[in-house]
Amino acid sequence: MVERKKFREPAIPDDHLILKYSGIFDLKGLYGTITEWFIDYGFYLEEPSWKHKVPSPSGAEQEIEFTGWKKINEYVIYWVELYIHIYDLVDVDVVKEGVKKKLNRANMALEFRAYVETDYSKRFETKFELFIKDFMDRYLFKKDMDVIWSDQLYYITYKLHTRIKEFLGMETSPDPFKEVW
């Protein structure tokens, strides 16, 4: 059996991006924003794991994983993975413009990963087929991988990063690179 994971090319140098936020936010709204983003960009969304730990005096702990995939052509598929670790999560009542709202206060760390996978339909299995695949990846698709697929997925992942920053109202949410891809 061929290890398929080795056909995954990381689109983000250093493997992942980190975003940390600590303060008041709307957890339900954040969840909605993330799922909406995956749908907007044509990704199929899966949630491989959702953990909720019993609240301690400082609050509950949650770990959520989102995995989205999108087929680009018969040979290439994009993967975007988002891991969210929320801790010290408590409900708070906030009055905003005279309206009482239930929000959350927590510390949160988000990790973004993205991969370009080739041969997702597993056409190349035998030793000889794998040799052909290697040749294709090295010589025929090398430029496409560097200039198109990896680059596009890299900037698409930043769009999710920016969308979350905008939702959280972070000071650094404007993105001058938003028109790239």
Partner 1 sequence: MAERQIIIDHMRLAYEGLFDVTQLYTMVQEWFREKGYDKKERKNIETITPSGKFIELELEPWKKITDYAKFVIKIRMIMTDIKEVEVEREGVKTKLNQGKIQMVFDAFLETDYEHRWEQKPTFFFIRTLFDKFVFKPYVERFKARLIAETNQLYNNIKGFLNLYRYSTEAWTAPGTVWPSP
Q: Give the binding site for partner 1 (CB under 8 A).
A: 13-14, 17-24, 107, 151, 154-155, 158, 161, 165, 168, 170-177, 180
For the bound state, the minimum distance from the C-beta of residue 23 to partner 1, rounded and expressed in Å, comes to: 4
The Cα 45–Cα 72 span in angstroms is 15
Question: Closest CB to partner 1 among 17 and 77?
Answer: 17
- End-to-end Cα separation, the chain, in angstroms: 36
Distance of alpha carbon 176 from alpha carbon 106, whole angstroms: 29
Query: Minimal distance in Å, beta carbon 165 to partner 1?
Result: 7
For partner 1, the closer of residues 50 and 177 by Cβ is 177
Closer by beta carbon to partner 1, 47 or else 146: 146
**CB closer to partner 1, 69 vs 141:** 141
Residue 114 makes CB contacts below 8 A (sequence gap 6+) with 10, 11, 12, 78, 79, 80, 81, 153, 154, 156, 157
What is residue 107's DSSP assignment? Answer: E
Residue pair 17/157 in contact by the 8 Å Cβ criterion: yes
Smallest gap, in angstroms, from Cβ of residue 89 to partner 1?
15
User: Least Å distance between CB 174 and partner 1?
Assistant: 5
Q: Which is nearer to partner 1, 98 or 176 (CB)?
A: 176
* Least CB distance to partner 1 at residue 53 (A): 22
Q: Is 28 left (phi over 0), alpha (psi -120 to 50) or beta?
A: alpha
